[in-house]
Every structure is written in structure tokens, then in C-alpha cells.
Amino acid sequence: MEITDFLDRKLARRFTTYDDDRDGYVEREDFRTAAVRCAEEFGHGPDSPAHQRLLDLALGLWTHLAAAADVDGDARISEAEYKKAFHAGLLVTEESFEQGYRPFLDALMAVADTDGDGKLSEDEHVRWTGALMHLPEADARAIHRRLDTDGDGLIGTEDLLTAIHDFYFDDDPAGPGSWLLGDLG
């Protein structure tokens, strides 16, 4: 896959959202900490099936990421390793996209959709993105409004799936997916 300047900026942003402790590397503990924090943000303790599923899938994502990107075997991934693996098609492709992301989004919905309507309100969106990825509230609110294409104040799994897909595979700076993690400047 060709990495355009715009996609490179998006990948750099995505890397920072993975790097929970902000040490310049992504490690298994970053995934564990973020998933636990997100589940706990919504009142799901360690014994909650929703908590456990989100944690299991987050750690599965780490395992996939490490297998594809940790080329030096040091159990951590640098931004350069991450981008190189993405470029080589080792992390996500158009063909593997939904298979990799839908289960995680379903688990996320089970944690963050507090009223069980299958949709996320703006406040729920702010809470999960802040807890999981440290997104600032103002960015999360703006992102929610962009993803809420029908204007009902809610976004669902399909909205998120489309935005994530477009984040990686659409080079249109004005597209909703380009704003998935905030303004890229």
C-alpha cells in the first residue's frame, strides 16, 4: 500500500492513540491499560463479560500488531515499525478490514452503549474515546458530529466501521474518516 503524506499523518496520529503511556512505543500493556480503563469508565469491573470481551479483543489486536510490526522482537513497536507494517499490508487490508474491526466495535458497543439502543450518544462517544485513546473532549464532540450523518445525535457500529475504513483507505481530507481521531492539522 502506498503511504501518502496524508496517510502518514493519519498513521502517526493513530500510533499516538495506541501509545497509552506516551513513551514512544506501543506495548501489550498499552492495550491492556486502555481496554481496562474504557470498561471501568462505563462501570464494567473485571468480572463483567463486556469488560473481559473488550480486554480479550484488545489483547488480540496487540498480538496481531506485534506479529506484523515488531520486527526486532523487543516486545514493543516504534512508530517506524508500525508504519512499515501498514505499508506492507501486514496490519489491515481492504479484504481483512471488517473481520478485524467489527468484533472489536461490537465489544466496544457492549461496554459504552449505556442504554443498549445500539447507538452511541455524543457523551458516550466522548467517554469511550477519552478513556480508550485519550482524545480530548472537544475533538471527540466534533468527531461525533461529523460521524452523525443523519443528524439524530447518535452513531452506531456501521458509522464507526465506515469512518475507520475511510481513515485508513480514503485520502480525502474532508471525509468523515479523516476526522476519526481529530483534526490532523
Over residues 132-168, the pLDDT tens digits come to 999 999 999 999 999 998 999 999 999 999 999 999 8
pLDDT at 81: 96
Can you tell me the distance from the alpha carbon of 95 to that of 109, in angstroms, rounded to the nearest whole number?
Answer: 23
Question: Which residue bears the cell 492495550?
Answer: 31
Segment 25-50, tens digit of pLDDT: 999 999 999 999 999 999 999 999 99
Q: Domain coordinates of the chain in residue numbers?
A: 5-179
Q: Residue 60 half-sphere exposure, CB side, CA atoms within 13 Å? A: 12
pLDDT at 1: 66
pLDDT at 137: 97
Contact 35, 55 (CB under 8 A): yes
> Percent of the chain, pLDDT > 90?
78
Averaged pLDDT for residues 86-104:
81
Superfamily of domain 5-179: EF-hand (1.10.238.10)
Residue 143 grid coordinates: 468527531
Pairing of strands 77-78, 119-121: unpaired
Question: Which residue bears the cell 443498549?
Answer: 116
Position 89 pLDDT exceeds 80: no
Q: What are the E-state strand segments in the chain?
A: 25-26, 77-78, 119-121, 154-156
